[in-house]
Structure 1
Amino acid sequence: MANRFAVVLAAGQGTRMKSKLYKVLHKVCGKAMVEHVIDQVEEAGFDHVVTIVGHGADSVKQVIGDRSEYVL
């Protein structure tokens, strides 16, 4: 199957977490939560990864780097 896309939702501010750090950047087992998701998407063999960013977009992009395309 060709052209499989994964869409990662990483635009939440995380206000209910009562933290200044954006929700997807909180660390679990030493890695940001969004990194765990990207790792699994890559392991599943998707052709393209698109991450939806919003609050803290620059910080999320810095963590993920070129492992994904981005949409604001």
Structure 2
Amino acid sequence: MPKTAAVVLAAGKGTRMRSELPKVLHRVAGKYLVQHVLDAAGEAGVVQKIVVIGHGGEQVQRALGE
């Protein structure tokens, strides 16, 4: 079976959310938005997940523990 990778774009500023947080760090159902995406990718069989960060990149790295 071929290995599948996913590129997750997590670089948005989130201006329309009227928050200082990067948009991927807003919580829904107790988890960061980006974590929902990463979990879904894992459930779909993705073995390599690449997260592209930009605005608030250090915050995103800390939140994901990487």
TM-score, reference length from structure 1? 0.83
**How many Å apart are 1:3 and its aligned residue?**
2.7
1:36-47 to structure 2, matched below 5 A, reads 36-47=36-47
Structure 2 equivalent of residue 27 of structure 1: 27
For 2:23 and 2:58, locate their aligned partners in 1 and report how far apart those are by CA, in whole Å. Answer: 14
* Greater relative CO, 1 or 2 (CA 8 Å, sep 6+): 2
**How many Å apart are 1:63 and its aligned residue?**
1.7
TM-score, reference length from structure 2? 0.89
Structure 1 equivalent of residue 50 of structure 2: 50
- After TM superposition, what 4+ stretches of structure 1 lie above 3 angstroms from structure 2? none
For 2:63 and 2:39, locate their aligned partners in 1 and report how far apart those are by CA, in whole Å. Answer: 12
Post-superposition CA distance 1:34-69 (Å, at most 9, x none): 011111111111121101100011111112224xxx
Q: Which ranges of structure 2 fall in alignment gaps of 5 or more residues?
A: none
For 1:61 and 1:41, locate their aligned partners in 2 and report how far apart those are by CA, in whole Å. Answer: 18
